[in-house]
Amino acid sequence: GFVTAAGFGAWAGIAAMTAPLDTVGKVEFDRPLAIPPLAGSTVEKGTRRFDLTLRTGSTDLGRQNPTPTWGVNGNLLGPTVRAQRGERVELRVENQLPETSTLHWHGMHLPAEMDGGPHQLVEPGQTWTPSWTIDQPAATLWYHPHLHGATAEHVYRGVAGMFLIDDPEEAALDLPREYGVDDLPLIVQDKSFDDDGEFDLSTSLFESAGIIGDTVLVNGTPGAYADVTTEAVRLRVLNGANARPFNFTFDDGRAFDLIATDGGLLSSPVRLTSLQLSPGERAELVVRFAPGERVVLRSENSDTLDTFAGGRDRLDIMEFRAAEQLDPAPAVPTSLAEVPRLDPNDAAIVRTFSLAGSTINGQPMDMSRVDEVVTVGDTEIWTVTNADGGSHNFHVHDVQFQVLDIEDREPPPWLGGWKDTVWLRQGERVRLIMRFTDYTSTQWPYMFHCHTMRHEDDGMMGQFVVVEPGETAGPIGGAGHEH
Ligand code: C2O
Ligand code: CU
């Protein structure tokens, strides 16, 4: 096995801390679900410009006092950025926070210098303006800070938002797509509060995997309900939590259609009654409703406590309230998008990554070390192992990958599409295949890491550059760049 006795011992120590969260009390759904506004933009000389300002604020989260929060263009979370494939975008990111931060476009294929990772610092009072041309299929992506050592905290305080990409292939499909009406973004996060109603940021909660909260916010709304006016609703679900995987299911066990994963549409819908998403993962679901009914979305039997303490969780997330009259909606198309399979025979190289302790392959993240050098145009296989049995997933910047196999078995149908983040059960080995295209730099790296945010901050992260054939990695940031 991959799990050492020492590893088990370390995790057993967590049991006492997480055990009381095994069952969480009934939630009253008494607040309408907030829908993040669409970010305003202007088009000038063919470039679509957005302004995103990171700032502090305060939010009524149902505690005795308003909770101090961070947000983008608002008090908590950020607006939904939306652009078309083929469009050139420019994001003006202004940092009005009291601390240095960054803003990373999770899932985006773009030049490393625009990626918003730990090397693209935005100091307080400064504005950073990345710009690139969107060239990837319609998808539900997201943005969040990526300051090394502080990603968990900055996301937890509230800096995160969705980034939706549209394309003609998706637009031609008969799918629900009226934003905020039958096409709902759901940013799902668990939070923990102290006695003053502030987010609990105490050290103990930041140990090991990080915060496992007992209160679920959807788009920053506690106890949220959404009014349903159509027979079918598309849910763009993002697990925006620090550490908790959610295993999404409905309280009556109803089936839904999974139509898209991290990087875009599946080739055809997959009928499911539950779907687990770990931190950073997204999925688009289409759910059907009958007139007048109320249905609760919950998380049940996720790997959270399975991993930490051998227990099982059950957590109510939000309620859907169907109107007495629902606008008709067609069934989900049986064929959605072309998802060309990457061929392992085309792979130029196999790299292996072992996740254990706060390291990958035994090394903690070093901002000045390039761990892997990739040649542009190459297809590669990355074999990733959860070697210590902790709560790990694996995320790669710049690319969308396909899961080749899990422990030599074909992946389940819900892992048949484009992914950028994948959950790794205890001891599990997953083979991923990906192709690196377009953007090269010898000095600006992309990241790969565990998306359990505490782990990433603690060093379970590495860096790769994509270079022209024959090139080697130069010093990060070029000569004179220091961290
Ligand atoms: Cu969602 Cu490297 O991050
Ligand atoms: Cu991890």
Pair (43, 139) in one structural domain:
yes
What's the confidence (pLDDT) of residue 483? 45
Count how many domains the chain has.
3
- The rounded Å distance from CA 117 to ligand 1 centre is 8
Pair (318, 183) in one structural domain:
yes
Pair (141, 180) in one structural domain:
no
pLDDT at 308 over 80: no
Asked if the interface predicted TM-score (ipTM) of this complex is over 0.85, the answer is yes
Residue environment code for 331-340, b if the CB has 16+ CB neighbours within 10 A, otherwise e: ebbeebbebe
- The rounded Å distance from CA 149 to ligand 1 centre is 13
Copy the structure tokens of residue 316.
């109510």
Helices assigned H by DSSP within 46-201 = 151-157, 168-171
Please indicate, yes or no, if residue 266 is contained in any of the structural domains: yes
Is the alpha carbon torsion for 135, 141, 145, 148 positive or negative?
Answer: negative
Pair (230, 312) in one structural domain:
yes
Query: What residues are neighbours of ligand 2 (ion), with CB under 5 Å?
Result: 392, 450, 452, 455
* Last residue within a domain, chosen from 154, 171, 188: 171
Query: How many Cβ atoms from other residues are within 10 Å of residue 123's Cβ?
Result: 12
pLDDT tens profile 282-296: 999 999 999 999 999
Copy the structure tokens of residue 134.
């969107």
Please indicate, yes or no, if residue 52 is contained in any of the structural domains: yes
Going by alpha carbons, the residue nearest to atom 3 of ligand 1 is 106
Residue 379 pLDDT class (50, 70, 90 cuts): very high
Closest ligand to the CA of 108: 1
Please indicate, yes or no, if residue 285 is contained in any of the structural domains: yes
Amino acid at 295: V
Residue 313 pLDDT class (50, 70, 90 cuts): confident
What's the confidence (pLDDT) of residue 152? 95
Closest ligand to the CA of 359: 2
What's the confidence (pLDDT) of residue 149? 96
**Closest atom of ligand 1 relative to the 106 alpha carbon:** 1
Separation of alpha carbons 234 and 410, rounded Å = 28
Separation of alpha carbons 399 and 151, rounded Å = 21
Residue 221 pLDDT class (50, 70, 90 cuts): very high
**Closest atom of ligand 1 relative to the 448 alpha carbon:** 2
Pair (355, 320) in one structural domain:
no
pLDDT tens profile 437-465: 999 999 999 999 999 999 999 999 999 99
Pair (419, 319) in one structural domain:
no
pLDDT tens profile 60-109: 999 999 999 999 999 999 999 999 999 999 999 999 999 999 999 999 99
Pair (314, 410) in one structural domain:
no
Please indicate, yes or no, if residue 161 is contained in any of the structural domains: yes
When pLDDT is averaged across residues 416-436 and rounded to a whole number, the result is: 97
When pLDDT is averaged across residues 184-199 and rounded to a whole number, the result is: 95
Please indicate, yes or no, if residue 322 is contained in any of the structural domains: yes
- Residue predicted with more confidence, 418 or 4: 418
**Closest atom of ligand 1 relative to the 461 alpha carbon:** 2
What are the phi and psi torsion angles at 191 (to 5°)? -130, 160
Q: What percent of the chain has pLDDT over 90?
A: 85
Pair (361, 435) in one structural domain:
yes
Helices assigned H by DSSP within 280-354 = 303-308
The half-sphere exposure of 152 on its side-chain side, counting CA atoms within 13 A, is: 29
Separation of alpha carbons 283 and 264, rounded Å = 9
Rg (CA), the chain: 21
pLDDT tens profile 21-72: 444 556 799 999 999 999 999 999 999 999 999 999 999 999 999 999 999 9
Separation of alpha carbons 287 and 294, rounded Å = 13
Separation of alpha carbons 176 and 183, rounded Å = 6
Structural domain containing residue 77: 33-171
Please indicate, yes or no, if residue 483 is contained in any of the structural domains: no
Residue 204 pLDDT class (50, 70, 90 cuts): low
Pair (263, 387) in one structural domain:
no
* Last residue within a domain, chosen from 113, 139, 171: 171
Closest ligand to the CA of 456: 2
- The rounded Å distance from CA 396 to ligand 1 centre is 8
Element (H, E) at 458: helix 453-458
- The rounded Å distance from CA 116 to ligand 1 centre is 9
Element (H, E) at 15: helix 15-18
When pLDDT is averaged across residues 296-315 and rounded to a whole number, the result is: 73
What's the confidence (pLDDT) of residue 258? 98
Pair (321, 185) in one structural domain:
yes
What's the confidence (pLDDT) of residue 26? 63
- The rounded Å distance from CA 453 to ligand 1 centre is 9
Going by alpha carbons, the residue nearest to atom 1 of ligand 1 is 106
Separation of alpha carbons 70 and 78, rounded Å = 9
Closest ligand to the CA of 160: 1
Copy the structure tokens of residue 366.
């070093």
Please indicate, yes or no, if residue 316 is contained in any of the structural domains: yes
- The rounded Å distance from CA 365 to ligand 1 centre is 14
Burial of 180 (0-12, 13-18, 19+ CB in 10 A): middle
pLDDT at 309 over 60: no
User: Which residue ranges have their beta carbon within 6 Å of ligand 1?
Assistant: 104, 106, 144, 146, 280, 395, 397, 447, 449, 451
Please indicate, yes or no, if residue 417 is contained in any of the structural domains: yes
Pair (408, 448) in one structural domain:
yes
What are the phi and psi torsion angles at 302 (to 5°)? -75, 170
* Last residue within a domain, chosen from 171, 198, 221: 171
Pair (323, 179) in one structural domain:
yes
Q: What is the CATH number of the domain that holds 278?
A: 2.60.40.420
pLDDT at 250 over 60: yes
